Chain A
Amino acid sequence: MVMSTTEKALTPETEASFYGLYHRESPFVLRYLFARVGDKTTAEDLCSDTFCRAWDRWSRFGGDDSAARSWVMRIARNRLIDHLRHNRRVTFEELDERYAATGGPETATGRIDLRRALAGLSTDERDLLAMRMAGMSHAEIGTIQGRSEEAVKKSWQRALIKARSLLEADA
């Protein structure tokens, strides 16, 4: 756990460290949120919400840079859950519509149908893959989800195998 029991003295340096956190972690947070909601404007709104919430708690954060990533991603994830509860819509499908309009990405194994590959996954599996797409390691995801690295790897493996099966079934 990375929250300290006492608040740090709030100095301008506190702000400096927070802006450092923002510049270092916002690309990861944004990629994760975009992978989940499929719309950059919404992802950016959620991203700014995340860092506003992080600032509200920053004086009580007592971890190092590594812990900070897990901490802010946890805030992002909670903010995303709130958003999805309100909107009742998980929009990987929107991604697929967008790519369908542009012809979609071609890969060595053929076009990836995101809708079929991802819509058939559970919310937890989508969440895990979104964090991986954002660039997070299995260990970092484990810290966020409160699971071991090995457990995350196994879930990741199952999710990808499931996605592959869905793609193959569609082929």
Chain B
Amino acid sequence: MNDDIDNNEELLQLEEQLRAATFAGLDTTASGRVFDRVRDHVQAFPKGRGRLGHDWNRRLLAVAPFVVPAAAAAAIAVAVISNQPQKAILPVPSGSPAATPVNSPSPAPTVEPSPPTDVAAAQRVALGLFVADPSLPGHWYPCSNVDNWAACPLSARVKARLADLTSSGYFSDVGGCGADYISGTQNGLFNAPKVLSAVAGGDGSVTVVIQRGPSRPGLIAAMTKENGTWVASDLASGTGPAASIFSAKPNC
């Protein structure tokens, strides 16, 4: 018996065969209904559910005198990490009436119809953050490297932030990140970037989460329209206070 467990090729091979047999022919990506159910739960229990199953805090409903659709929940998140003004994070869903937040049930909220958000277009543009490598099929790289993000669907503010971080060496090994920010790796992606979710926010923005591979957190792009064109006005990676690219030391 080989005592070197890490290098026991025979066992590793058997394990790989078991893995292949278990998942053969199956898409092991969670379907949309899983995310929908989780998002609905987050929406229904904004502060989580207590041991007895009751809702502790209807925070969002206390702020806005209308029912917040589940679809707005994800959009709230990135809007905040992007340092947008507080009013921008009110989860007013697209196509629903805008309302002035009040603490009492009257007077009736002012109703102003808002145009529908083109989520598909925002999603399509967000995927433009990655470019297929024409010389290597099945390989994608970030849209950036050679032109300082000029051709990327990014706001001027995000481009400036990327430039700042680059000039300070943040994406180098010395800077601690050691990876391209958009792809999360220096080697590009070997799986097609895939949109995991795209959720319209009440302010016309769309939060798009793009899968970058099994070992990297999704890239979260807050897509907004500038002069009629979709651009990412914020990018985020991972979780916590350092998720946004605008945080002091953003996650890689």
Complex Cα gap A123–B42 (Å): 33
Complex Cα gap A114–B122 (Å): 44
Q: Kindly supply a per-residue 1/0 record for chain A positions 42-79, scoring 1 wherever the CB is within 8 Å of any chain B CB and 0 otherwise.
A: 00100110011001111100001100100000000000
Complex Cα gap A56–B79 (Å): 22
Q: Interface stretch among A7-15, A82-90, A140-148? A: A7-15
Residues A133 and B217 in contact, CB atoms below 8 Å apart: no
**Residue from B28, B41, B78 in contact with A16 in the complex, judged by beta carbons closer than 8 Å:** B78
Is B20 at the interface (CB under 8 A from chain A)? yes
Residues of A within 8 A of B238 (CB): 20, 24, 65
Q: A17-B243, A58-B48 are in contact. Are A114 and B18 (CB under 8 A)?
A: yes
Q: Interface stretch among B8-16, B108-116, B145-153? A: B8-16
Residues B239 and A107 in contact, CB atoms below 8 Å apart: no
Is B209 at the interface (CB under 8 A from chain A)? yes
Residues B220 and A20 in contact, CB atoms below 8 Å apart: yes
Residues of B within 8 A of A16 (CB): 76-78, 80-81, 220, 236, 239, 243
Residues of B within 8 A of A48 (CB): 33-34, 37-38, 41
Complex Cα gap A65–B231 (Å): 28
Residues B38 and A153 in contact, CB atoms below 8 Å apart: no
Residues A13 and B241 in contact, CB atoms below 8 Å apart: yes
Q: How many whole Å from A80's CB to the nearest CB in chain B?
A: 15
Q: Kindly supply a per-residue 1/0 record for chain B positions 89-131, scoring 1 wherever the CB is within 8 Å of any chain A CB and 0 otherwise.
A: 1000000000000000000000000000000000000000000
Q: A10-B47, A17-B243, A56-B48 are in contact. Are A34 and B41 (CB under 8 A)?
A: no
Is B174 at the interface (CB under 8 A from chain A)? no
Total number of A-B contacts with CB less than 8 angstroms? 169
Residues A11 and B38 in contact, CB atoms below 8 Å apart: no
Residues B11 and A161 in contact, CB atoms below 8 Å apart: yes
Q: Kindly supply a per-residue 1/0 record for chain B positions 31-72, scoring 1 wherever the CB is within 8 Å of any chain A CB and 0 otherwise.
A: 101110110011001111110000001010000000000000
Residues B243 and A133 in contact, CB atoms below 8 Å apart: no
Complex Cα gap A82–B176 (Å): 42
Residues of B within 8 A of A30 (CB): 28-30, 34
| Interface size grouping (class) on chain A | 35 or more
Complex Cα gap A99–B20 (Å): 12
Number of interface residues of B (CB under 8 A): 60
Complex Cα gap A40–B197 (Å): 20
Residues B239 and A15 in contact, CB atoms below 8 Å apart: no
Q: Kindly supply a per-residue 1/0 record for chain A positions 83-107, scoring 1 wherever the CB is within 8 Å of any chain B CB and 0 otherwise.
A: 0000000000001000100101101
Residues of B within 8 A of A99 (CB): 21, 24
Complex Cα gap A99–B49 (Å): 40
Complex Cα gap A55–B31 (Å): 19
Residues A10 and B59 in contact, CB atoms below 8 Å apart: yes
Complex Cα gap A161–B74 (Å): 45
Q: A10-B46, A52-B41 are in contact. Are A129 and B20 (CB under 8 A)?
A: no
Residues B239 and A44 in contact, CB atoms below 8 Å apart: no
Residues B49 and A13 in contact, CB atoms below 8 Å apart: no
Is B73 at the interface (CB under 8 A from chain A)? yes
| Residue positions of A touching B, CB distance < 8 A | 10-13, 15-24, 26-27, 30-31, 34-35, 40, 44, 47-48, 51-52, 55-59, 64-65, 68, 95, 99, 102, 104-105, 107-109, 112, 114, 117-118, 129, 132-133, 135, 153-154, 156-157, 160-161, 163-164
Could you list 28 examples of A-B contacts with CB < 8 Å? A12-B77, A12-B79, A15-B77, A16-B80, A16-B236, A16-B239, A20-B217, A21-B239, A23-B196, A24-B239, A31-B28, A34-B22, A48-B33, A48-B34, A55-B38, A55-B42, A56-B50, A64-B240, A95-B22, A105-B17, A105-B20, A109-B13, A112-B21, A114-B18, A133-B15, A156-B5, A163-B14, A164-B14
| Residue positions of B touching A, CB distance < 8 A | 1, 5-6, 8, 11, 13-15, 17-26, 28-31, 33-35, 37-38, 41-42, 45-50, 57, 59, 73-74, 76-81, 89, 196-197, 209, 211, 214, 217-218, 220, 236, 238-241, 243
